[in-house]
Chains A and B, each alone.
Chain A
């Protein structure tokens, strides 16, 4: 589950990871209130107004039809109002949102932390995530903060430092020190970084995060280390033990059809193609999407109805797929194991009748337990549904349906 920057910073704060102070706002008024409070709290005269959406690249992203960015500096409280008004209710397009962009309804008002002082402020990079190859957590740090880390990894791999965490003992002191030395820090900044890494790892572990990325981590002019931005994903499978973090879910960030599918216990991902599909099992579902593509179509969705496909789940799946106006044909692909094909076939026929007015071709491929009985039910139903047993034949029927 992805969460917003302001929520991520709430988690960091709880684990005593130093952050640049900031306050949440969802209107121009509350933005001004937040700025006033921040001024009292920190004495700052300069503020950063940050759009809160689940996508990166906000600083470079622009609001549709304007030159306004997703992260803007405000040099007075009045300017905070102005920038907030420019953002709220408008659509922000970044490199990660896709061309349609995302509507901004929430803001984070942050205090400026780049003051001039005894030393130059310096932007660093840090993230913690799972290394799938070793099955261990890895801390990635770099002297090149504020940039796209994949770019840094590509052009200057020697500036990226990795520290793998032994599952049995966790992050050790020598590792935290090594990271701080690798980042070229000294004095108070060094000490602060050791604390920062240690607390960040505790936050990562304690909240069952699947990824924490702090970019940039700032060494301030007075040699403090703090998180300026924070991107955090949480492990969905572990949310049951974090009821407080589960409330961070923002369904306005999700596709409405995906939300509806989730409520029906269906695993659905909306895509841009013209052939819908409904499959049992995630691997076979992806493979079915590939079959659609090879047959001349484009998959309109991923939909795994799971191991317990029945009339009810099939109908719910149908209804969700049919809500997508781009869908020109539907391929149902079920390999019956525990699920019996005749039951699935009955489910398809029943759902078809219940929904009515289905004007696009449906192809049902049933294989496995009671496949022949299933095909018979489909073929004798009198509905505009075609059946196949072999995957190749199903692909041919998709091609035919699209060219008809």
Chain B
């Protein structure tokens, strides 16, 4: 290109939107410049449904697949998504929903009826997006056929009058019309227009990728939704808490603490075989400054092996770095302390030594839990009995005399374990599922201290609390372990979802950045025998630069068919309009 400016364009009227120009004035030349449905013309609402059931169905289908309804459905979809972001959702936080229900006794039942506590799985929300996707399919299929037809066909012939086009050029030349047409054809083809000669003019079109991109985008949306739905149906998700050095976890249903799965999930075949164990958990925290105690790193060092008896490998799982094995991902999602306690009976025999995971109740890892001795303990008289201890643990104790014992810092700076002791029956055999972190004291008796109150003591690592009357002792060992909890999820179809998403972006970019446009070049002898060249451009897309492109093409053609040495300005063959 040798020019710096592409012809003169009269500024403000750079017609961009050919829709209004197409149709009537241009006839066939302006037709099918896109595959967008031409509705609004078929505004035949009231007088259509005279056609019986089939007519109704057709009418309904046409409405559903119209752009206007797609627009309304889209709008409803975004409107419908709003309540779910403002009202607590049971799928996200069941506790919050309960709190909300307790606080709003009149509103909550209404909300419940409307499905507002699970908006995204509610009937009405599903209705919106299912309708939208039916509409989408109903839109894509005919448009695809239409597009294929357009690809097979050729650009429509030139309109009668180029002056009706958004941009046009004309000049007179001494070159023969055939030569001009041949030059124009070559020029347009070189610029990758699909061009052919039709009568006395060259017709050409370019930018089909716009439509292709648009179709790809809309198809990709379907792929995205289907793979997401697929993933939901086959997904599995479970939690597992592990103490450092504990025996491993292998991926089978009984090993999970809790487990959820999609409705088509099959636990026999759909669980990836692997196993892993927690070697060490590392947590570091901000030591100084206004954000003191804010966590900085959480890392779980684990050993894992793939398959039934794979080689053991070491790796670290961090908050943003799950361990991925064959599409199953292991996420680190919680941590806490598991103090080791040793319980001895009256004769000093160890009846239990265990690292007891305790649940954090605040961000400084103040933790509570229960230490249970199920069997192996006999009291002085040799009778079998169970022991239970309520445990309260702080990794960093502020010092005594400060009221309640709450942790001051999440790291193990000054750990203290407070225990209170019970004996009797833990109630574990009653068949009712038990919370491992809580002690059910309904069938237990308190150990009493010298004042006759519940025996309790704050222990430092290594210290021991004696049970009264030689009933034994409990020791807070120096070895304080940490635990980490893992979420193990498997959701198939994410690869497809990702592919769909990327295709959607690519298609979208093509559909928004590529312009579809037509250029015609007519060369015919004028009244005085001199060849009149007319060029016209038509674009449908809003950001078309039809005029500029036409100016450039004209300049190139002009080089091969220079203006005739005629002093007066050329006049278009059929006379300028107005």
B is bound to A: no
